[in-house]
Structure 1
Amino acid sequence: MSIGVLLITKNEQQYLRRCLLSVCDWCDEIVVVDSGSEDETCRIAREFTDKVYEHPQWPGFGKQRQLAQSYMTSDWVFVIDADEWVTPELRDAILTELAEPNNSNVYQVNRRTKAFGKYIDHSGWSPDWVARLYPRSLTQYSDALVHESVVIPKGCQLKKIRKGRLLHDTYQDLHHYIRKTTGYLKSWTDEREGKRKSGLCTALVHALACFFKMYIINRGFLDGRHGFIVAWLSMHSTFVKYIDLWLRENYGNKE
């Protein structure tokens, strides 16, 4: 069975080469859809594949992944982000699993994430089972603007690939965190505006619950100072997105 890599990018020159080097020697196809990079992202991608497509108009994460899949011809789709890379153990486990494939399976891999220079092994971030491998003819990503996910068809089996890890370098520093999350927060509010109510109490409750869950219930304190920082920043982001929704509902587009 042929395996294709699906990748969407924008300004990822810092990470992209490491990502593509981890898949280029065992995958049959690499498809990259770029949404208007202003750096060397597309040039680096073309070192690994001729299937690089530039679509500056951003439709949201889900539809952008759907677009990338429409360019693919491989039997199986493996989805990866530019700031992720595949360990040799995960590569071998995927190839072993697909040696005798089941075309009704969607596979999850275990992702390990680094933030601010340290792997976060608690705080609800690990284990982090994400669906990333599936038959191209079976399914695709949802339409969600952000926090998109693979649609699991009725009767489909969700199976975990337990060997190996997908490594993820999510935030380099605080400025990188702010740049990255700003777009996510806006997309979250765009998707829910007019469909969901919010308020100051709602924002406070969700924010405090987020911190308590990450730092206490999911034992973020075991990640040391990084665990506290991640939980605090997540609390702040949660508060911001619910307040943004409330402000739009009550004060948006008014004279």
Structure 2
Amino acid sequence: MNLDKLLTIALITKNEAKHLPDCLASVQDLGCPIVIIDSGSSDATPEIAEQFSAAFHVFTDWQGFGTQRNRAHAFIQTPWVLWLDADERLGETTRQDLIQRISQTIPDGKVLFSINRLSIAYGREIRHSGWYPDRIVRCYPIAQTQYSDDLVHESVLVPSGVKVVELKGDVLHNTYADLNQHLEKMKQYAFAWAAQRQGKKSATPFSATIRAVFAFLRFYFLKRGFLDGQQGLMIATMNAVYTFLKYAQLWQLNRSKSGSLKG
């Protein structure tokens, strides 16, 4: 069944030529329009988008993940939008449930839909480590809500009185293939997190270290990361590194702001 009058698939991209073809292929049979908001790709991302007849719009004035996503609303002509990341693949069970529910649900703002992501990291499906289940709202009526304007870790705003319905199945999420990719993404997120909290939250190198230790213990033991084998150990360790980075960067930004005020 085509959902071309009901649903638009939306993505934000930058240099996603490696992942984008498989992502768009996983939703191609839905027959939905595709809107891509790009932040200045220098690889084959635009050409791949054209191959899938996606509407491709470039905004290079990066203002954060939330703002970039919300820019898509101006180009969406259907009542519903489903957001995917380029490294995600819509699974068959989720696809069928989505078709049925969108076809039968009035976009009156009373229902939003969440997907469940199953992540692959370092070549293994991660079913513990705090990564699974990974429920996230990704499908909503564009007239009723949008994303928060957070620089990073943006989320769909859930209006009061609205029910979040869980779509069946899993959406496959190809995360980190190697250590370098993981480190680069962590640095990006950590620095954006710190910038958003500069002057609003305190941090020191000592508190960053203590938080990092507890982050490792939490993800490896409490979140049962040890059940994910060597990959679970990597994830717990990298979560500790990420925690240290974001609080250490916040400390540095706060010091810089304090010094400028004194000057």
TM range (shorter): over 0.9
Q: Which whole-Å CA distance do the structure 1 matches of 2:241 and 2:185 have between them?
A: 14
1:148 corresponds in structure 2 to 154
* Cα-Cα RMSD: 1.4
2:81 corresponds in structure 1 to 77
- The 5 A counterparts of 1:1-255 are 2-103=6-107, 104-161=110-167, 163-251=168-256
**How big is the shift at 1:251?**
4.2
Tell me the alpha carbon deviations over residues 130-180 of structure 1, each in whole angstroms, 9 at most, x when there is no partner: 10111111111000000000000111111111x221110011111111222
Contact 2:187 2:245 in 1 (8 A): no
Q: Which whole-Å CA distance do the structure 1 matches of 2:37 and 2:255 have between them?
A: 37
Contact 1:4 1:28 in 2 (8 A): yes
Q: Which whole-Å CA distance do the structure 2 matches of 1:50 and 1:95 have between them?
A: 20
**How big is the shift at 1:212?**
1.3
Q: TM-score, normalised by structure 2?
A: 0.93
Q: Which moved more, 1:163-172 or 1:93-102?
A: 93-102
Q: TM-score, normalised by structure 1?
A: 0.96
Q: Which whole-Å CA distance do the structure 2 matches of 1:203 and 1:83 have between them?
A: 30
Q: Among all aligned residue pairs of Structure 1 and Structure 2, give the percentage whose two residues are the same amino acid.
A: 38
Q: Which whole-Å CA distance do the structure 1 matches of 2:186 and 2:237 have between them?
A: 14
**How big is the shift at 1:120?**
0.8
Q: Which whole-Å CA distance do the structure 2 matches of 1:7 and 1:150 have between them?
A: 14
Tell me the alpha carbon deviations over residues 203-253 of structure 1, each in whole angstroms, 9 at most, x when there is no partner: 123212211111111100000111011000110110011011111212466
3-state SS, counterpart of residue 36 of structure 1: coil
- Residue 196 of structure 2 aligns with an amino acid whose one-letter code is E
Structure 1 unaligned residues grouped into runs of 5+: none
Q: Which whole-Å CA distance do the structure 1 matches of 2:17 and 2:232 have between them?
A: 28
Aligned residues: 254
Contact 2:17 2:45 in 1 (8 A): yes
Structure 2 unaligned residues grouped into runs of 5+: none
- Runs (4+) of structure 1 moved beyond 4 Å? 251-255
Structure in which a larger fraction of residues adopt helix: 2
